[in-house]
Amino acid sequence: MSPSPRPTPLVATAVRPGAPWPAVEVYDALGSTNDEVRARPRPWRVVAAERQEQGRGRLGRSWTTTPGTSLAVSALVPVPPSGAAWVPLLAGLAVTRAVRDVAGLETALKWPNDVIVPSDGDRKLAGLLCEWTPEGVVVGLGLNVATAREDLPVDTATSLHAAGAPDVDRARLLTTFLVHLARVLREDTGPSGPAVAAYRSACRTVGSDVEVHAPDGAVRAGTATGVDDEGRLALRTPVGDELVSAGDVVHVRTR
């Protein structure tokens, strides 16, 4: 068992991503970073919290954080040319690039919103919750950084520390994520552009045999053949081809 890392505070002055980002706001505690950004929306506003008391993921799932060991951050970004549905997908791409640059760890994307670590049993490292507002899209990121294996809430979760990347500086990781997020949004020129192509290449779900679990309990099995121009998963089933929207699924599991 690896020793538990010592939590260190996230200091706002150490997070300097540059334009278009303003100064990052870091709070000791918030109900939800997404809710804080939505309450006072400003273009490119970034809010981080050491502790979220009402942190959540997709479909209202809770996301718990231990102060000093994770990133809980939300940012308001403009809708890119590919559309709002592509924001969580492109944000996931920015996460994989930031983790590679800062932690030296290769990650993969699981449609629609999970970042997983293949070398750690495909455990989930990070999740994204994106919410539309009239001012743009709020990108909410929860990423386990220094959480020890035994402190993770479920066996299917991991952290950079647990996956073999200890002592990652959270301020540097957050800065690098924001730099990559702004860059990938600039690179988005539409569904046929380089940003969307990069996501499709990085999405590990594509080409896999999967089970798609719907909110009503129905399960569809098939092969994920791609991601369409609206960010939907293309699924080939025994009864024909289907398109699945992120809002229509609870889980997508590889068979």
Which of 160, 182, 201 is the endpoint of a domain?
201
Regarding whether 138 and 30 lie in a shared domain, the answer is yes
| pLDDT beyond 60 at 2 | no
Query: Which of 52-56, 97-101, 144-148, 177-181 shows the lowest per-residue confidence on average (mean pLDDT)?
Result: 52-56
Predicted confidence band of residue 7 (pLDDT cuts 50, 70, 90) = low
CA gap 71, 220 in Å, rounded: 34
Assess whether 249 and 135 both reside in one domain: no
Percent of the chain with pLDDT over 70: 91
Mark whether 192 and 213 lie in a shared domain: no
Q: Are residues 20 and 139 in the same domain?
A: yes
Sheet holding 233-237, edge to edge: 240-244, 233-237, 219-227, 209-213, 251-254
In-domain check, residue 84: yes
**Beta 46-52 vs 25-30: how paired, if at all?**
parallel
One domain for residues 215 and 197:
no
pLDDT of residue 53: 79
Whether the pTM exceeds 0.85: the reply is yes
What domain range includes position 134?
12-201
Residues 162 and 177 in one domain: yes
CATH code at 75? 3.30.930.10
* Whether residue 159 is found in the same domain as residue 57: yes
Q: Is residue 211 part of a domain?
A: yes
- Taking the C-alpha atoms of residue 110 and residue 102, their distance in angstroms, rounded to an integer, is 21
- We report the CATH number of the domain holding residue 218 as 2.30.30.100
- Which pLDDT score, from 0 to 100, does residue 54 have? 61
Instruction: Please tell me the predicted confidence (pLDDT) of residue 175.
Output: 97
Distance (Å, whole) CA 73 – CA 71: 6
Give the mean model confidence (pLDDT) for residues 127-141: 96
What six digits make up the tokens of 50?
């050491």
Flag whether 2 is in a domain. Answer: no
Is 109 inside a domain boundary?
yes
59 lies in a domain?
yes
Contacts of 196 (CB under 8 A, 6+ apart): 82, 86, 90, 188, 190, 229
Last residue of a domain, one of 159, 177, 201: 201
| Beta carbons within 10 angstroms of residue 202's beta carbon | 17
Q: What is the mean pLDDT of the chain?
A: 91
Same domain as 134, residue 240: no
pLDDT score for 123: 96
Can you tell me whether residue 21 is helix, strand or coil? Answer: coil
The position carrying tokens 């990347």 is 165
Q: Any residues with CB less than 8 A from the CB of 60 and at least 6 apart, and which?
A: none
Crossing angle for the helix pair 87-103 and 170-187, to the nearest 10 degrees: 140
Residue 237 is assigned to a structural domain of this protein: yes
Domain count, the chain: 2
pLDDT at 1: 47
Whether residue 87 is predicted with pLDDT greater than 80 in this model: the reply is yes
d(CA 83, CA 145): 30
> Are 122 and 74 members of one domain?
yes
Is residue 201 pLDDT above 70, yes or no?
yes
Q: Is residue 90 part of a domain?
A: yes
Q: Pairing state of beta strands 70-77 and 46-52?
A: antiparallel
